[in-house]
Amino acid sequence: MRPGIYRAAAALLLAALLSACAGPPRLPLNKLSEAKPGETIVVGRVEIVPPLAENEQKLTVGSGYLKDQLILITSDKFRRLTAEPTPGEYTGRIEARLDKDFTVRSSNKPFYILAGGIMTNGEDGQMAWFPGGLEVPIRPGDKAIYIGTLRYYRNEFMDVKKTVLVDDYARANAEFKKTYGARYSLRKALVRPVR
Amino acid sequence: MRYRKLFYACLASVTLLSGCASSSPPRDLDDPTNSLYFGHIDMSDAPGGVNAADVEQIAPPTKFPYWKPGLRKGLFCLAILPPGSYQVTDFSGGDMVYDFPRQGNPTSVRIRKPGIYFVGSYKYVPVKTGFFEGAKFAIKRVNKPTEAELLRRILEYPDIQKSAWKKKIEARLAHLRQ
């Protein structure tokens, strides 16, 4: 928790870390030709139940782009996050628009989802955090994979009640082919909890 | 949002000394659907002290979600809350505002039926940070003052003495003594 006198600084810091200090997110795929050799396309989705209501994200001009977005903090090495991520830990994040498939370019190595975060207050940079601890099991040679839908159930106070992994492969694969062409099929590679 | 809060802060300041009824929007202190929401915050170690607070109505959604609790010597209370979900969002003093998070906020309560809801006693604890880092703080739950001690203080408020709350609070105190 921070005293409000630091709100502007905190909001600026967050904007800065998400744009510069933090390093880039995993880039969204616009056209199939953007994917380079040695990259794997990762497709998935995040949902919040019940969905966010209009007043649940109090965003400012600088943080408006985080509306209806959940940031997945990722890493090549697994660890349990015990505190809010440092700026460096935002590098390689997945910027997932809620209730929409994300399609991002990744290295062809497995990686881990450490946590998910939604900005609840842009004035002071407050985030609500959602559990991770998941492995994205990319295999050598994977061109494109589907990792599933992460569905977080929460209450009105943003306390997470349960996390469910939904396999919506048939729909996701059909949409992927419709958007990017039939050259690749998604391999089903659902995220799995790290024990 | 802050302007709306400011508006209600001004509105509430008129009645702030009247105990637990001060709030927005106005409601009858004897409305049978009222609940009493109260707790204590010890801000003696905070740079600006504390002289105001906000309680946000999380649910049901409303255009005017901020309620202004009465606040005296750390005791914050609202005796006119309709059923809904609430939490303290901030305390303020001087030019400082101390924000509470939406998630994991210990003052969160879901009121389904009218009653007396004690959300705890807390103490402000400064958290050491680096030279270039902004100030941080933690709110630690403490055992004192107890629910009974706070209810006895609320009973002393003149508006409470004259309201239906007097009997309800006395009944609660009797229950706590058992």
Reported as a pLDDT band with limits 50, 70 and 90, residue B15 is very low
Give yes or no for A61 touching B (CB within 8 A).
no
**Rounded CA gap, A63 and B26, in Å?**
34
Give yes or no for A156 touching B (CB within 8 A).
yes
**How many CB atoms sit inside 10 A of residue B171's CB?**
11
Give yes or no for B108 touching A (CB within 8 A).
yes
Residue A118, pLDDT > 70, answer yes
Give residue-wise pLDDT tens across range B138-151.
889 999 999 999 99
Residues 24-53 of B with CB under 8 A from A: 47
Give residue-wise pLDDT tens across range B153-170.
999 999 999 999 999 999
From the CA of A95, how many Å to the nearest CA of chain B? 21
Reported as a pLDDT band with limits 50, 70 and 90, residue A49 is very high
Give residue-wise pLDDT tens across range A121-164.
888 888 999 999 999 999 999 999 999 999 999 999 999 999 99
Give yes or no for B139 touching A (CB within 8 A).
yes
**How many CB atoms sit inside 10 A of residue A101's CB?**
18
Reported as a pLDDT band with limits 50, 70 and 90, residue B114 is very high
**Rounded CA gap, A106 and A94, in Å?**
10
For chain A, how many structural domains are there in total? 1
Give yes or no for B143 touching A (CB within 8 A).
no
Q: Which residue has the tokens 């009465």?
A: B70
Query: From its phi and psi, is residue B146 left (phi > 0), alpha (psi between -120 and 50) or beta?
Result: beta
Q: What is the pLDDT of residue B139?
A: 84
Angle between helices B147-155 and B165-177 (to 10 degrees): 150
Binary contact (B135, A3; C-beta < 8 A): yes
A81 SS3 class: coil
How high is the ipTM of this complex? 0.79
Q: Which of B61, B96, B101 sits opposite A53 (nearest CB)?
A: B61
Quick one: average pLDDT of A87-105? 95
Residue A85, pLDDT > 60, answer yes
**Rounded CA gap, A187 and A43, in Å?**
10
Residue B8, pLDDT > 50, answer no
Dihedral angle, C-alpha A110, A115, A121, A123, nearest 10 °: -60
Residue A55, pLDDT > 80, answer yes
Give yes or no for B117 touching A (CB within 8 A).
no
Binary contact (A9, B134; C-beta < 8 A): yes
Q: In this predicted model, which residue has the larger pLDDT, A55 or B70?
A: B70
A130: Cβ contacts below 8 Å, ≥ 6 apart? A70, A115, A116, A117, A118, A152, A154, A160, A163
Give yes or no for B101 touching A (CB within 8 A).
yes
Burial zone of A131 (CB within 10 Å; 0-12 exposed, 13-18 middle, 19+ buried): middle
Give residue-wise pLDDT tens across range B115-129.
999 999 999 888 776
B118: Cβ contacts below 8 Å, ≥ 6 apart? B38, B39, B147, B150
DSSP string, A129-192: EEEEEEEE---TT-SEEEEEEEEEEE-TT--EEEEEEE--HHHHHHHHHHHH-SS--PEE---E
Of residues A24, A133, A150, the one with CA closest to residue A82? A133
A87 SS3 class: helix
> What residue type is assigned to position A67 of the chain?
K
What are the angstrom distances between the C-alpha of A4 and each of A125, B103, B104, B136, B178? Answer: 10, 17, 18, 10, 42
Residues 3-22 of A with CB under 8 A from B: 3-7, 9-10
Which two structure tokens, joined as six digits, stand for A150?
């992460």
Give residue-wise pLDDT tens across range A10-30.
555 555 555 556 789 999 999
Give yes or no for A129 touching B (CB within 8 A).
yes
Q: What is the pLDDT of residue A7?
A: 53
Binary contact (B137, A2; C-beta < 8 A): yes
Binary contact (A3, B95; C-beta < 8 A): no
% of chain B with per-residue pLDDT over 90: 61
Q: What is the pLDDT of residue B25?
A: 66
Helix (H) or strand (E) holding B10: helix B2-15
Binary contact (B65, A7; C-beta < 8 A): no
Angle at B169 between CA B165 and CA B172, to 5 degrees: 145
For residue A63, give its domain range: 3-193
Of residues B174, B155, B168, the one with CA closest to residue B30? B168
B155 SS3 class: helix
